[in-house]
Amino acid sequence: MVRAGVRCIVESDRNWSVVAEAADGREAIAKAIAVKPDLAILGYSLPLVDGIEATRQIRRWVPNIEVLIFTMHDNEALVRELVKAGARGYVRKSDTEQRLVSAIKSLANHKAYFTDGALQTAIRAMAAKPGRTKQTLTAREQSVVHLVAEGRSNKQIAASLDIGVKTVETYRLAIRRKLDLASTAAIVRYAVRNNFMQA
């Protein structure tokens, strides 16, 4: 339904056309490499490969592409990771349709577009010196935090992310060390405070 809505918005402008659609992050990467569109509009909570890793891979293989993230999620850590991955646009699904149109127009002209509070975070992320955000969670770690906060077991998280159970355990340990958290309950509290529980 979201893709259909975005397609409708894009195709309402005769200067734009949708050249491909993808149902998950892995497919988005493959199609971006194959088709090489001018702009990719990605969600964050994509199946198989999340929006940050998809952005990173797409920008790696199609360097001239612009990536716009269209998501319900809204937290500083996420925006920083998106900018580091190469996204230059960020619009919330709760924003108006005109915001999405404005973002597409801006990125079509190779100008970054971030809405409201995300703008200042993006500016700080772009200006940050290497190492300043070393404690920021990686895209995969954020996915693990989100799933832990949903009450998923290690086995369920492994199945959802297509990784091994031992790998999930390693991620959980890394997250606790990075954030200085003592327990699973602390991870859940962190997730709630940082809006990881948004749909």
198, part of any domain: no
What angle in degrees, to the nearest 10, is found between the helix axes of 25-35 and 51-61? Answer: 20
H or E, element range at 28 = helix 25-35
Residues 174 and 97 grouped into a single domain: no
Domain total of the chain: 2
3-class SS of residue 114: strand
Residues 167 and 109 grouped into a single domain: no
Within 10 angstroms of residue 196's Cβ, the number of other Cβ atoms is 23
Contact 77, 142 (CB under 8 A): yes
Contact 86, 145 (CB under 8 A): no
Within 10 angstroms of residue 11's Cβ, the number of other Cβ atoms is 11
Q: What is the CATH number of the domain that holds 155?
A: 1.10.10.10
For 63, the domain range is 2-127
Residues 117 and 160 grouped into a single domain: no
Q: What is the pLDDT along the chain (199 residues), one digit of tens a residue?
A: 888 888 898 888 888 999 999 999 999 999 999 999 999 999 888 888 888 889 989 998 998 999 999 988 777 777 778 888 889 888 888 888 888 999 999 999 888 888 766 656 666 655 554 443 335 788 888 889 989 988 899 999 999 998 989 889 888 888 888 887 878 888 888 887 777 765 4
Q: How many CA atoms lie within 13 A of 57 on its CB side?
A: 18
